[in-house]
Protein backbone atom coordinates (compact mmCIF):
# COMPACT_ATOMS: atom_id res chain seq x y z
CA UNK A 1 0.00 0.00 0.00
CA UNK A 2 3.07 2.30 -0.11
CA UNK A 3 2.00 4.41 -3.12
CA UNK A 4 -1.50 4.81 -1.80
CA UNK A 5 -0.20 5.89 1.59
CA UNK A 6 2.01 8.57 -0.02
CA UNK A 7 -0.98 10.49 -1.30
CA UNK A 8 -2.61 10.82 2.12
CA UNK A 9 -3.63 14.38 2.83
CA UNK A 10 -1.00 17.04 2.44
CA UNK A 11 -3.82 19.53 2.78
CA UNK A 12 -6.62 18.07 4.87
CA UNK A 13 -9.87 19.87 4.37
CA UNK A 14 -11.83 21.55 7.10
CA UNK A 15 -15.16 19.92 6.28
CA UNK A 16 -15.69 17.33 3.52
CA UNK A 17 -19.22 16.59 2.28
CA UNK A 18 -20.09 13.10 1.05
CA UNK A 19 -23.41 12.85 -0.85
CA UNK A 20 -24.95 9.48 -1.65
CA UNK A 21 -23.47 8.14 1.60
CA UNK A 22 -26.09 5.39 1.94
CA UNK A 23 -25.51 3.97 -1.55
CA UNK A 24 -23.42 0.98 -2.56
CA UNK A 25 -20.25 3.01 -3.06
CA UNK A 26 -20.99 5.53 -0.31
CA UNK A 27 -21.25 2.81 2.35
CA UNK A 28 -17.81 1.48 1.43
CA UNK A 29 -16.13 4.89 1.10
CA UNK A 30 -17.63 6.56 4.16
CA UNK A 31 -15.68 4.73 6.88
CA UNK A 32 -12.40 5.35 5.02
CA UNK A 33 -12.71 9.15 4.93
CA UNK A 34 -12.04 10.02 8.57
CA UNK A 35 -8.50 11.39 8.00
CA UNK A 36 -9.46 13.51 4.99
CA UNK A 37 -10.94 16.43 6.91
CA UNK A 38 -11.55 17.63 10.42
CA UNK A 39 -15.25 16.92 9.91
CA UNK A 40 -16.96 14.59 7.45
CA UNK A 41 -20.51 15.63 6.65
CA UNK A 42 -22.43 12.64 5.28
CA UNK A 43 -25.71 13.00 3.44
CA UNK A 44 -28.39 11.08 1.57
CA UNK A 45 -32.16 11.02 1.31
CA UNK A 46 -33.79 10.86 4.76
CA UNK A 47 -35.33 7.45 4.06
CA UNK A 48 -31.94 5.97 3.11
CA UNK A 49 -29.64 7.43 5.72
CA UNK A 50 -29.21 5.93 9.18
CA UNK A 51 -28.81 8.81 11.68
CA UNK A 52 -25.79 7.40 13.57
CA UNK A 53 -22.62 9.46 13.19
CA UNK A 54 -19.01 8.36 13.78
CA UNK A 55 -16.80 10.58 15.96
CA UNK A 56 -15.83 13.23 13.37
CA UNK A 57 -19.03 12.94 11.32
CA UNK A 58 -22.14 15.05 10.90
CA UNK A 59 -25.19 13.34 9.37
CA UNK A 60 -27.58 15.53 7.37
CA UNK A 61 -30.49 14.20 5.32
CA UNK A 62 -31.05 16.16 2.12
CA UNK A 63 -32.86 15.76 -1.18
CA UNK A 64 -30.47 17.05 -3.84
CA UNK A 65 -33.35 18.43 -5.90
CA UNK A 66 -34.21 20.88 -3.07
CA UNK A 67 -32.13 24.00 -3.78
CA UNK A 68 -32.48 25.57 -0.33
CA UNK A 69 -31.68 22.32 1.44
CA UNK A 70 -28.59 21.79 -0.71
CA UNK A 71 -27.44 25.33 0.01
CA UNK A 72 -27.62 24.62 3.74
CA UNK A 73 -25.96 21.24 3.25
CA UNK A 74 -22.94 22.70 1.48
CA UNK A 75 -22.49 25.69 3.79
CA UNK A 76 -19.28 25.29 5.80
CA UNK A 77 -17.78 22.63 3.51
CA UNK A 78 -14.61 23.14 1.48
CA UNK A 79 -14.66 19.88 -0.51
CA UNK A 80 -17.33 17.49 -1.79
CA UNK A 81 -17.44 13.89 -2.96
CA UNK A 82 -20.68 13.87 -4.95
CA UNK A 83 -22.06 10.35 -5.27
CA UNK A 84 -25.75 11.12 -4.68
CA UNK A 85 -28.43 10.72 -7.32
CA UNK A 86 -30.16 8.25 -9.58
CA UNK A 87 -27.52 5.68 -10.56
CA UNK A 88 -29.27 3.71 -13.29
CA UNK A 89 -31.40 4.45 -16.34
CA UNK A 90 -34.76 5.85 -15.22
CA UNK A 91 -37.53 8.06 -16.66
CA UNK A 92 -36.35 11.57 -17.50
CA UNK A 93 -38.35 13.28 -14.74
CA UNK A 94 -36.57 11.25 -12.02
CA UNK A 95 -33.16 11.89 -13.54
CA UNK A 96 -34.00 15.58 -13.93
CA UNK A 97 -34.73 16.03 -10.22
CA UNK A 98 -31.91 14.07 -8.62
CA UNK A 99 -29.10 14.42 -11.15
CA UNK A 100 -29.66 17.48 -13.31
CA UNK A 101 -31.21 19.84 -10.77
CA UNK A 102 -29.13 18.09 -8.12
CA UNK A 103 -25.77 18.79 -9.72
CA UNK A 104 -26.76 22.40 -10.50
CA UNK A 105 -27.89 22.94 -6.90
CA UNK A 106 -24.63 21.49 -5.63
CA UNK A 107 -22.36 23.69 -7.76
CA UNK A 108 -24.42 26.81 -7.08
CA UNK A 109 -24.10 26.17 -3.36
CA UNK A 110 -20.40 25.44 -3.85
CA UNK A 111 -19.95 28.80 -5.56
CA UNK A 112 -21.77 30.67 -2.80
CA UNK A 113 -19.94 28.93 0.04
CA UNK A 114 -16.38 28.82 -1.30
CA UNK A 115 -15.96 25.09 -1.95
CA UNK A 116 -12.54 24.45 -3.46
CA UNK A 117 -12.69 20.90 -4.82
CA UNK A 118 -15.47 18.58 -5.97
CA UNK A 119 -15.18 14.96 -6.97
CA UNK A 120 -18.06 14.20 -9.33
CA UNK A 121 -19.14 10.57 -9.73
CA UNK A 122 -19.68 10.59 -13.48
CA UNK A 123 -20.23 7.37 -15.38
CA UNK A 124 -18.99 5.30 -18.30
CA UNK A 125 -22.53 5.80 -19.64
CA UNK A 126 -21.53 9.23 -20.99
CA UNK A 127 -19.74 7.24 -23.70
CA UNK A 128 -21.94 4.13 -23.72
CA UNK A 129 -22.63 4.13 -27.44
CA UNK A 130 -19.03 3.36 -28.39
CA UNK A 131 -18.46 -0.22 -29.41
CA UNK A 132 -16.54 -2.58 -27.19
CA UNK A 133 -13.99 -3.03 -29.99
CA UNK A 134 -13.21 0.71 -29.92
CA UNK A 135 -10.72 2.28 -27.51
CA UNK A 136 -11.41 5.85 -26.45
CA UNK A 137 -9.90 8.35 -24.06
CA UNK A 138 -11.72 10.80 -21.81
CA UNK A 139 -11.65 13.52 -24.48
CA UNK A 140 -13.47 11.47 -27.11
CA UNK A 141 -16.85 12.86 -28.20
CA UNK A 142 -19.41 11.95 -25.57
CA UNK A 143 -22.10 9.52 -26.70
CA UNK A 144 -24.51 9.19 -23.73
CA UNK A 145 -26.58 6.03 -23.76
CA UNK A 146 -29.75 7.30 -22.00
CA UNK A 147 -31.19 10.00 -19.74
CA UNK A 148 -28.87 8.85 -16.96
CA UNK A 149 -25.80 9.15 -19.21
CA UNK A 150 -27.06 12.54 -20.42
CA UNK A 151 -27.32 13.73 -16.82
CA UNK A 152 -23.71 12.72 -16.14
CA UNK A 153 -22.64 14.46 -19.35
CA UNK A 154 -24.46 17.59 -18.12
CA UNK A 155 -22.70 17.22 -14.77
CA UNK A 156 -19.31 17.20 -16.50
CA UNK A 157 -20.27 20.38 -18.39
CA UNK A 158 -21.41 22.02 -15.16
CA UNK A 159 -18.06 21.10 -13.60
CA UNK A 160 -16.15 22.63 -16.53
CA UNK A 161 -18.27 25.80 -16.41
CA UNK A 162 -17.83 26.30 -12.68
CA UNK A 163 -14.08 25.86 -13.08
CA UNK A 164 -13.80 28.24 -16.03
CA UNK A 165 -15.94 30.93 -14.44
CA UNK A 166 -15.41 30.48 -10.71
CA UNK A 167 -12.24 28.41 -10.32
CA UNK A 168 -13.91 25.52 -8.47
CA UNK A 169 -11.78 22.47 -9.27
CA UNK A 170 -13.38 19.11 -10.12
CA UNK A 171 -12.23 15.65 -10.97
CA UNK A 172 -15.03 13.92 -12.89
CA UNK A 173 -14.56 10.18 -12.51
CA UNK A 174 -16.36 8.18 -15.17
CA UNK A 175 -16.79 5.14 -12.99
CA UNK A 176 -16.91 1.85 -14.88
CA UNK A 177 -18.51 -0.81 -12.66
CA UNK A 178 -17.70 -0.34 -8.96
CA UNK A 179 -18.86 -3.47 -7.20
CA UNK A 180 -17.20 -6.04 -4.93
CA UNK A 181 -16.47 -8.12 -8.03
CA UNK A 182 -17.33 -8.11 -11.75
CA UNK A 183 -20.81 -9.55 -12.22
CA UNK A 184 -20.73 -10.43 -15.92
CA UNK A 185 -18.55 -10.52 -19.05
CA UNK A 186 -19.02 -6.81 -19.77
CA UNK A 187 -17.72 -5.93 -16.32
CA UNK A 188 -14.53 -7.86 -17.01
CA UNK A 189 -13.59 -4.70 -18.97
CA UNK A 190 -15.37 -2.05 -16.89
CA UNK A 191 -14.71 -3.25 -13.34
CA UNK A 192 -13.30 -0.87 -10.72
CA UNK A 193 -12.41 -2.43 -7.38
CA UNK A 194 -13.34 -0.52 -4.23
CA UNK A 195 -9.66 -0.23 -3.27
CA UNK A 196 -8.75 1.28 -6.64
CA UNK A 197 -11.76 3.58 -6.41
CA UNK A 198 -10.71 4.75 -2.98
CA UNK A 199 -7.16 5.39 -4.21
CA UNK A 200 -8.52 7.38 -7.15
CA UNK A 201 -10.79 9.41 -4.87
CA UNK A 202 -7.88 10.23 -2.63
CA UNK A 203 -5.72 11.36 -5.52
CA UNK A 204 -8.60 13.35 -6.97
CA UNK A 205 -9.06 15.20 -3.70
CA UNK A 206 -5.44 15.92 -2.87
CA UNK A 207 -3.55 16.34 -6.16
CA UNK A 208 -2.95 20.07 -6.66
CA UNK A 209 -4.08 22.03 -9.71
CA UNK A 210 -6.46 19.57 -11.36
CA UNK A 211 -8.64 22.27 -12.95
CA UNK A 212 -11.41 20.12 -14.37
CA UNK A 213 -9.94 16.72 -15.11
CA UNK A 214 -12.03 13.88 -16.55
CA UNK A 215 -10.80 10.32 -15.99
CA UNK A 216 -12.16 6.80 -16.22
CA UNK A 217 -12.58 4.85 -13.01
CA UNK A 218 -11.24 1.46 -13.99
CA UNK A 219 -9.03 -1.21 -12.50
CA UNK A 220 -6.05 -2.70 -14.31
CA UNK A 221 -8.21 -5.08 -16.33
CA UNK A 222 -6.65 -7.20 -19.06
CA UNK A 223 -9.27 -6.19 -21.63
CA UNK A 224 -10.11 -2.49 -21.56
CA UNK A 225 -12.02 0.00 -23.72
CA UNK A 226 -10.52 3.11 -22.19
CA UNK A 227 -7.16 4.78 -22.57
CA UNK A 228 -6.93 6.40 -19.16
CA UNK A 229 -4.05 8.76 -20.04
CA UNK A 230 -5.54 11.75 -18.18
CA UNK A 231 -5.56 9.82 -14.91
CA UNK A 232 -1.75 10.00 -15.17
CA UNK A 233 -2.03 13.57 -13.92
CA UNK A 234 -3.29 12.12 -10.63
CA UNK A 235 -0.58 9.45 -10.49
CA UNK A 236 -3.33 6.82 -10.56
CA UNK A 237 -2.02 3.31 -11.18
CA UNK A 238 -4.72 0.75 -10.36
CA UNK A 239 -3.60 -2.39 -8.55
CA UNK A 240 -6.54 -4.72 -8.98
CA UNK A 241 -7.69 -6.61 -12.05
CA UNK A 242 -10.88 -8.42 -13.03
CA UNK A 243 -8.78 -11.34 -14.30
CA UNK A 244 -8.94 -13.50 -11.14
CA UNK A 245 -12.76 -13.52 -11.58
CA UNK A 246 -12.72 -14.64 -15.21
CA UNK A 247 -13.47 -18.31 -14.62
CA UNK A 248 -16.35 -17.49 -12.27
CA UNK A 249 -17.81 -14.97 -14.73
CA UNK A 250 -17.42 -17.14 -17.81
CA UNK A 251 -19.46 -19.94 -16.25
CA UNK A 252 -22.42 -17.71 -17.14
CA UNK A 253 -23.87 -18.28 -20.63
CA UNK A 254 -22.37 -15.91 -23.22
CA UNK A 255 -24.77 -13.21 -24.53
CA UNK A 256 -25.84 -13.34 -28.18
CA UNK A 257 -22.92 -11.99 -30.26
CA UNK A 258 -24.92 -9.07 -31.76
CA UNK A 259 -26.71 -8.10 -28.52
CA UNK A 260 -26.09 -4.70 -26.94
CA UNK A 261 -24.36 -6.23 -23.92
CA UNK A 262 -21.88 -7.96 -26.22
CA UNK A 263 -21.31 -5.07 -28.63
CA UNK A 264 -21.72 -1.68 -26.93
CA UNK A 265 -19.70 -0.30 -24.01
CA UNK A 266 -22.88 0.83 -22.24
CA UNK A 267 -24.38 -2.66 -22.48
CA UNK A 268 -28.02 -2.94 -21.39
CA UNK A 269 -28.26 0.80 -20.65
CA UNK A 270 -28.27 1.42 -24.42
CA UNK A 271 -31.61 -0.38 -24.79
CA UNK A 272 -33.39 0.51 -21.52
CA UNK A 273 -36.53 2.59 -22.17
CA UNK A 274 -38.37 4.41 -23.56
CA UNK A 275 -40.52 4.53 -20.47
CA UNK A 276 -43.80 5.70 -22.03
Positions in the binding site for ligand NAI (CB under 6 A) = 20, 22-26, 44-45, 48, 63-65, 83-87, 98, 102, 121, 123, 175, 177-179
CA atoms within 13 A on the CB side of 9: 14
Pick the stretch among 118-126, 211-219, 224-232, 239-247 that binds ligand 15L (CB under 6 A). 118-126
Contacts of 179 (CB under 8 A, 6+ apart): 24, 187, 191
Residue 24 CB: number of other CB atoms within 10 A?
Answer: 14
From ligand 15L, ligand NAI, none, which one binds at residue 150 (CB under 5 to 8 Å depending on kind)? Answer: none
String marking each residue 182-201 x if it binds ligand 15L according to CB under 6 A: -----x--x-----------
User: Interface with ligand 15L includes 87 (CB under 6 A)?
Assistant: yes
Alpha-carbon span 65 to 163, nearest angstrom: 22
Catalytic annotation present for 162: no
Q: Are the CB atoms for 123 and 174 separated by under 8 Å?
A: yes
Please tell me whether residue 270 binds ligand 15L under the rule CB under 6 A: no
Number of residues that bind ligand 15L (CB under 6 A): 8
124 lines the binding site for ligand 15L (CB under 6 A): yes
From 91, 102, 116, 82, select the one nearest 14 (Cα to Cα).
116
Widest CA span of the chain, in angstroms? 52
105 binds, among ligand 15L, ligand NAI, none (CB under 5 to 8 A by kind): none
Residue 166-185 contact track with ligand 15L, rule CB under 6 A, x = bound:
-----------x--------
Q: In this structure, are residues 68 and 6 in contact, taking their beta carbons and an 8 Å threshold?
A: no
Cis geometry, peptide bond prior to residue 274 (ω within 30 degrees of 0): yes
Q: Which residues are catalytic?
A: 148
| Contacts to ligand 15L by CB under 6 A | 87-88, 123-125, 177, 187, 190
Amino acid sequence: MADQDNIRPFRPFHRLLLTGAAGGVGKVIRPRLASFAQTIRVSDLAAALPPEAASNEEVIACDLSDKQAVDALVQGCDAVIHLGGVSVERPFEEVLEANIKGVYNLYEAARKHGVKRIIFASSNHVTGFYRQDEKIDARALRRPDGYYGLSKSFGEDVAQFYFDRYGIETVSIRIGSAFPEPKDRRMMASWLSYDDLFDLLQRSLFTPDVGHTVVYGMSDNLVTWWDNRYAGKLGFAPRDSSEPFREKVEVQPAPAPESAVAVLQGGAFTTTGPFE
